[in-house]
Chain A
Amino acid sequence: MEKVREELLVARCKRGDQDAFAELVSIYEKKVFNIAYRMTDDPEDAKDLAQEAFLRVYTALPSFRFDSSFSTWLYRIVCNVCLDEIRRKRRKKTVYLNQPRVTDEGETYRQLVDSSDGPSEIIEREELQRAVIEGINALSEDYRMVVVLRDLQGMSYEEIAVYLNISLGTVKSRLNRARTALKQRLSGLELFKKESVQRCEGREMR
């Protein structure tokens, strides 16, 4: 049913129905935005990228011939847009974690959260999440992408292979390496304690 409804919407879009497109956007915007957000770690950039991806979809819709499902096509475009943008940005500047970050209060060093005097559990949890995000950001964009798609968006290996136009084997090995790298980064943290992890694990593992 969902599929049929979506195809109808796409068909209406192809005829230039902007309301139909708005409806399509409403279905996918959350996922698209979150992929972009996790890839860029900046709400503004994420918004721009997500909009750019949707615009590309809209522009290319007339030539979309249902060779794949609409969502597959959409995610492929989203992944492309994100990777393109990150590569383009990286060409301009490279951010290293040990590079000072200029803030209003002056220079601070990017730090993976130091929780030695961690006050409350909530803050601890937030800090842990922040640490994961920093860890993900430290990965190269290809590794980051598979982690975001698999572990944050819960997509299957097959889907990821299609979205990124890589083989299943590549997905496997990339994901493995990405997770290993992430683990190494996080295991250096004091916060990375059994109990907090276990709590998360127990709640989230499916």
Chain B
Amino acid sequence: MNCSECMESLSPYIDGELTEAESERVDEHLSSCAKCRAELEALKEVVGLCRSMEDVEVPSGFRASLMAKVKAREASPWRKVARRFNLSSSKVQIAAAFLVVIIGITYYLSASGGLFRGVGQTKMVAPAAPPADYGAGAPAKTDGSREFSSADTAAPDEISQKSMLQSIESRSGALEMEQAFDRKVIKRADVEVRVDKEEFEPTFRKIPLLAESLGGYVQESALWKDKDKRFGRYVLRIPERNFAVALDQFKSLGEVINESVAGQDVTQEYVDTESRLRALKTQEQRLLVILGEAKTVDEILRIEMELTRVRTELEMYQGSLRYLDNLVSLSTINLNLRDTPAEETPKEPGLWDKILDAFRKSIEAIVDSFSAILVFLAGILPVVITVAAGVGILFRLKRTFFR
């Protein structure tokens, strides 16, 4: 054994931590090496000095303040859960963090899913939407229904189609004779009726039957509720000859709140269209004759082109005639039902009312902004929690692995 080996072994040698063989070899070396002996002595002195150090007393109050800390920690909710499930609270915290992350992800996914559901809902709701702002919506809808009825001619009810065809046929016959007498008037009525609460539902259901019995049909209907008030709305198409009867019938449903009848004379427009139609028909006949006499292909093609143009125009006028006929032969009745009296229009507010109103509006604005903030906070909460949980987990992992 050389000196450096010996030096390596001196410390365990002092402690008696060497095997017998090792120990003997050290003894052997020591007996022949003064330097290592001196080293051993010096080391022994150091060890002796260290061992002479006595333990100090634990400061007073050590245990008391420790137990206070224990109590404080025991009060934490993690501990209670940990105690119940016999886990360390760090495990509970990690589990809770994971749970939160999972909830966050689930929430996030379901939120995006909810987005699509939301779109679907608005689609479903959309038809009922106009009645929601009833006051402003009703007149606008009337315009809309007129536009709509032009498309309606493409696929109307069988009854109306029949009557329409009849009127067109009859017209093509003794047209000039009738012209002077047959005023073309589009009749429209707006009726608002209040019915008793108990009768509202049956009344509402009765109206389509009533319209059908009069040879008409329901073009549009809606039923909605605003708090405890119920509203119904119909756009009814009734044959012109039954217009007056229908109006009386509807007015007798309950208390008439308001009523207006309007007639739009479209005779001029009708006659103009008719004469144009006639001119075009004549032109068509003439073109057909010319076509029969045509010699060259070029001639035939040119005539046919002209014929196509004329026929397109012809159909256009026929269409607008049919449309007018529809409007004239089927009057429109906008029927509004309600089960409560109409609100009184508020009188011009006084100064005091304005002050109160302004005050109330400010309060509402404040409340609104607070709720907006709340909504926002609630909205970002999952994100915050997820991030916090992630950071928490990282921190925990760091502590677990880098002790």
Residues on A facing B (Cβ under 8 Å):
14, 16, 18, 21-22, 25-26, 29-31, 33-34, 37-38, 43, 47, 50-51, 54-55, 58-60, 62-63, 80, 84, 128-129, 132-133, 136, 147, 150-152, 154, 157, 172-173, 175-176, 179-180, 182-183, 186-187, 192, 197-198, 200-201, 203-206
Contacts and interface: CB of A to CB of B under 8 A. Distances in A.
A198 B41 CA distance: 10
Interface of B: 7-12, 15, 17, 42-53, 55-59, 62-63, 65-67, 69-71, 73-74, 79, 82-83, 86-91, 403
Given A59-B73, A204-B52, 7 more contacts: A55-B70, A60-B90, A132-B53, A186-B49, A187-B42, A197-B45, A201-B44
A132 B49 contact: yes
Q: Which 7 A-B pairs have the closest CB atoms?
A: A201-B48, A176-B11, A151-B50, A63-B88, A197-B45, A200-B52, A204-B51
B88 A30 contact: no
B87 A51 contact: no
A175 B86 CA distance: 39
A interface, by DSSP: helix, strand, loop or mixed?
Answer: helix
B49 A58 contact: no
Nearest to B50: A151
B43 to A, nearest CB: 5
Query: Which of A43, A50, A58 counts the most B-chain CB atoms under 10 A from its CB?
Result: A58
B63 A173 contact: no
Contact of B55 (A34, A43, A51, A175): A34
B308 to A, nearest CB: 92
B50 A152 contact: yes
A132 B50 contact: yes
B52 A26 contact: no
Nearest to B54: A129
Contacts of A51: 62, 65-66, 69
A50 B62 contact: yes
Contacts of B7: 176, 180
A26 B64 CA distance: 11
A18 B47 contact: no
30 contacts: A18-B74, A26-B63, A30-B58, A33-B62, A34-B55, A34-B56, A43-B56, A51-B62, A54-B66, A55-B69, A58-B73, A59-B73, A59-B88, A60-B88, A62-B82, A62-B86, A63-B91, A132-B50, A150-B15, A152-B53, A157-B15, A175-B11, A176-B9, A176-B11, A180-B7, A183-B46, A186-B46, A186-B49, A204-B51, A204-B52
B50 A147 contact: yes
B58 A176 contact: no
B46 A182 contact: yes
A81 to B, nearest CB: 9
Contact of B63 (A22, A62, A63, A132): A22
A118 to B, nearest CB: 16
A71 B10 CA distance: 29
Contacts of A176: 7-12
A45 to B, nearest CB: 12
Contacts of B45: 183, 186, 192, 197-198, 201
Nearest to B88: A63
B241 to A, nearest CB: 91
A31 B56 CA distance: 9
Contacts of A179: 11, 43, 46-47
A151 B50 CA distance: 6
A205 B51 contact: yes
B14 to A, nearest CB: 8
A29 B63 contact: yes
A57 B7 CA distance: 39
Contacts of B43: 179-180, 183
B106 to A, nearest CB: 29
B63 A151 contact: no
Contacts of A30: 55, 57-58
A62 B88 contact: yes
Contact of B87 (A31, A62, A157): A62
A16 B46 contact: no
A201 B45 CA distance: 6
Contacts of B403: 80, 84
